[in-house]
Structure 1
């Protein structure tokens, strides 16, 4: 005799280990962000999209802000790993133009390869809840610090190195990359990674040519 769910009742979701369930719910929230925006993420919305009950979601997260914070932390850590992987571990014999070109190429390729991840990261900061906004700002500060560190290495023997505002340069570099990421997400045919990388190389070449 076949067992059927009572009319009007949602079938039980398949059981999962807590870690697997957590990842499933975060993946679901990421899909919601990509289809309806960050404001659409709620406990109800995640439960419906994942095919589970609200208590299942509450078993992992306290509220929507908790979901968004953990999602951005997960995706941000993965994104940061993608970016830092483009920087050479040893800068001793590295060329500054080639180094930053590889960073730009790796970044834009990562955006195209993982559009859902990067769409969630490149959303406007003002549209995010305060805890999520704070974490995003901290992650961006870490990337800027790394860019500044690498730039200072390449400028270490320049006689006017102290007069160059490296921190502002790193800020502008990250801002340009983020805007390029949005361009490739919104219109990859008009703004493919190769086009954006070529412009990044041009700007870096112009900077290092200017300070020689």
Structure 2
């Protein structure tokens, strides 16, 4: 007697609470980025990775840009939590060279601890869709402004402070750290945190004259 179940019918994915399903879909997008690249993130790709239908994905996200934006927001929040404890809470008696060395080391070690997370955060801006590019640029701006605030604090008593382009310096420091993070991800044996931290200290010490 033939089976009453239609041949080849796709099995239903296990039911999940909405919040749990959303995390599952974002985890799938993160895995796709790390194995296939950001261009492979799509509603179809995420659905297949999770073994669900497209409507399940559309129940949480409007399109692939929405998936990427929410993924970057989630991973960005986790990333900030990773390095929050290396940032000084009080700059009053802090040494600028030691402070930026500590931040650099904490950043590079965070990349080593969570490479999948940081690979999504450190994607080249030109390699992501326009909507996601704007989101990443806003995030970079916020971090750059915080770095500039710290620099201004350490330079406040220098007689030549008015001639120093603090915003540009903050931009260069952030760019150097991000490129160092990419080197860690691409070749951790050749670019371990100790090597990159030593270079960061040399650069900061050269500027602050410590």
Q: Judging changes above 3 Å, is the alpha-carbon distance between structure 1 residues 104 and 4 closer, same or farther for their aligned structure 2 residues?
A: farther
Q: Distance in 2 between matches of 1:75 and 1:34?
A: 13
- Structure 1 contact 80–143 (Cα < 8 Å) conserved: no
Residue 122 of structure 1: aligned partner: 122
TM-score (norm 2): 0.95
Q: Distance in 1 between matches of 2:85 and 2:136?
A: 19
Instruction: Structure 1: give runs of 5+ residues left out of the alignment.
Output: none
Shift, 1:108, TM fit: 0.3
Further displaced range: 79-88 or 42-51: 79-88
Q: Does 1:104 align with 2:104?
A: yes
**1:146-196 deviation digits (Å, cap 9, x = unpaired):** 100001101111111111111100000000001100100000000001110
Shift, 1:82, TM fit: 3.0
Q: Judging changes above 3 Å, is the alpha-carbon distance between structure 1 residues 19 and 206 closer, same or farther for their aligned structure 2 residues?
A: same
For 2:30, what is the secondary structure of its paired residue? Answer: helix
Residue 27 of structure 1: aligned partner: 27
Q: Judging changes above 3 Å, is the alpha-carbon distance between structure 1 residues 5 and 89 closer, same or farther for their aligned structure 2 residues?
A: farther
4+ runs deviating over 6 angstroms: none
Shift, 1:80, TM fit: 3.0
Residue 44 of structure 2: aligned partner: 44
Q: Does 1:134 align with 2:142?
A: no
Q: Does 1:145 align with 2:145?
A: yes
**RMSD, aligned CA:** 1.6
Q: Distance in 2 between matches of 1:170 and 1:83?
A: 18
Q: Distance in 2 between matches of 1:91 and 1:123?
A: 31
Residue 154 of structure 1: aligned partner: 154
Shift, 1:84, TM fit: 4.0
